[in-house]
């Protein structure tokens, strides 16, 4: 496994729409392993392909409930709303309030290509929505309704 370089917000690669993953091969496994290692090393809860310069529909998420690998993910159902503070490994030291669905059903494939469906809520749902936005070139700073001074988050 290896750490990959995290792309920062002014890079165009973060603004592109990602293509679906078509090959479920060894290279994909290595990418997923590297992405998880990079996310944990940066103390993040999610990381999407474009953030390591890979324009494919792929993301990893771990909000403390174990690692979730998402390949070609799609939200097929959402319910309710929640508003809370978000950050992003590509936007260091920026925080802002974002409204997200409170509950989602996400469909995707695992690293072997097998399809699955998951019902997620609260922070887990938020993290997955944030990562899926990355796959369409969207950042949380585009949709935050209020930015927060990091100093105000300390207490
Ligand atoms: Ni992000």
Average of per-residue pLDDT across 83-87: 97
**C-beta of residue 94 within 8 angstroms of C-beta of residue 10:** no
Length of the chain: 155
- Sign of the four-CA dihedral 49, 72, 116, 101: positive
pLDDT of residue 117: 98
Residue 154 has pLDDT above 80, yes or no: no
Q: Ligand 1 mean position to 14 CA, how many Å?
A: 10
Q: Ligand 1 mean position to 27 CA, how many Å?
A: 23
Residues around ligand 1, an ion, CB closer than 5 A: 88
Average of per-residue pLDDT across 89-99: 97
pTM of the model: 0.96
Q: How far apart are CA 78 and CA 30, in angstroms?
A: 31
Q: Ligand 1 mean position to 50 CA, how many Å?
A: 10
Residues designated as active site: 131
- Structural domains in the chain? 12-152 (3.90.45.10)
Instruction: Kindly indicate the confidence band of residue 150, based on its pLDDT and cuts at 50, 70 and 90.
Output: confident
Average of per-residue pLDDT across 7-24: 98
Q: Ligand 1 mean position to 131 CA, how many Å?
A: 6
pLDDT digits 0-9 by tens, 117-134: 999 999 999 999 999 999
User: Does residue 43 sit in helix, strand or coil?
Assistant: coil
């Amino acid at each position: 496994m290896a750490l990959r370089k995290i792309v920062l917000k002014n890079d165009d690669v973060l603004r592109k729409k990602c293509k679906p993953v078509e090959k479920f091969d060894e290279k994909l496994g290595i990418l997923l392993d590297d992405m998880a290692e990079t996310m944990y090393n940066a103390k993040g809860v999610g990381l999407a392909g474009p953030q390591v310069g890979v324009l494919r529909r792929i993301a990893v998420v771990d909000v403390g409930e174990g690692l979730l690998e998402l390949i070609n993910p799609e939200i097929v159902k959402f319910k309710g709303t929640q508003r809370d503070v978000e950050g992003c490994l590509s936007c260091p030291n920026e925080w802002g309030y974002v409204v997200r669905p409170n509950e989602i059903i996400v469909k995707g494939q695992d690293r072997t290509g097998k399809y699955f469906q998951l019902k997620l809520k609260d922070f887990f749902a938020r993290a997955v929505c944030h990562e899926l936005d990355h796959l369409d070139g969207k950042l949380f700073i585009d949709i935050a309704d209020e930015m927060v001074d990091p100093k105000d988050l300390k207490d």
